[in-house]
Amino acid sequence: MAFKLPNTYKYCPQCGGPLERRIIKSGAPERLVCLQCNYVLYVDPQVAVIAVVPKDGGVVMTRRAVNPGYGLWVLPGGFMDVGELLEEAVMREVEEEANLKVRVDRLLGVYSYKDSSTVVVAYLTEYLEGQMAPGEEVLDIGVFSDREIPWDKIPFRSTKSTLNEYFKLKELGDHQ
């Protein structure tokens, strides 16, 4: 299934005129075009970051207090802010969600899907300091060994792919 333009955009941000869906170039997806000034509103992807934080023989995971995926388990992460470096975003998100300071070790993967407007950038991090505690968007937090990962309670493909990539590296002895 391909990504569909949201129905939430109704008016042009330039002049306030109504927007209509239009193919403006052969082979390109539908775009939102202003009927008054012909401004094209591009709906661009959002960038999210997630972190594998190895700690105490396992991996830190958080149980979401927000949708999508309310009550389900994920790696710490969230959306990047404009003007923020990817590495800064992942460190900020880990601190906000898990109360842990980390440093970025390496890129684990970049994930995009035809049915999603989010590009997910996954990093392996190193725990530096802090007492693990759930942030305001987190119901619970825990450290899971590879055998304890709640695979059936993970809502996002990117989280599962990232964990699989991490465990492959660990198996190869490329990371503890």
Q: What is the per-residue pLDDT across 119-132, written as a single tens digit (0 to 9) for each?
A: 999 999 999 999 99
Is the pLDDT reported for residue 176 higher than 70?
no
Amino acid at the residue 101: K
Q: What is the pLDDT of residues 19-54, one digit of tens each?
A: 999 999 998 888 999 999 999 999 889 999 999 999
8 A C-beta contact, residue 141 and residue 120 = no
pLDDT range class, residue 3, cuts 50, 70, 90: low
pLDDT range class, residue 174, cuts 50, 70, 90: low
Sign of CA dihedral 48, 55, 69, 165: positive
- CA-nearest of 109, 35, 122, 41 to 80 is 122
Q: Which residue intervals of the chain bear CATH 3.90.79.10? A: 46-171
SS3 144: strand
CA distance 149 to 115: 26
Q: Which residues pair with 18 in a beta bridge?
A: 11
Q: Which residue intervals of the chain bear CATH 2.20.70? A: 7-43
Phi, psi of 162 (to 5 degrees): -65, -45
pTM: 0.87
Please give the CATH topology (third level) of the domain spanning 46-171.
Nucleoside Triphosphate Pyrophosphohydrolase (3.90.79)
Count of CB atoms situated within 10 Å of the CB of 123? 26
Query: Mean pLDDT of all residues in the chain?
Result: 94
Please give the CATH topology (third level) of the domain spanning 7-43.
Ubiquitin Ligase Nedd4; Chain: W; (2.20.70)
Q: What is the pLDDT of residue 173?
A: 78
87 membership: H or E segment, kind and range = helix 86-98
Q: What is the pLDDT of residue 7?
A: 74
- Report which DSSP code applies to 44: P
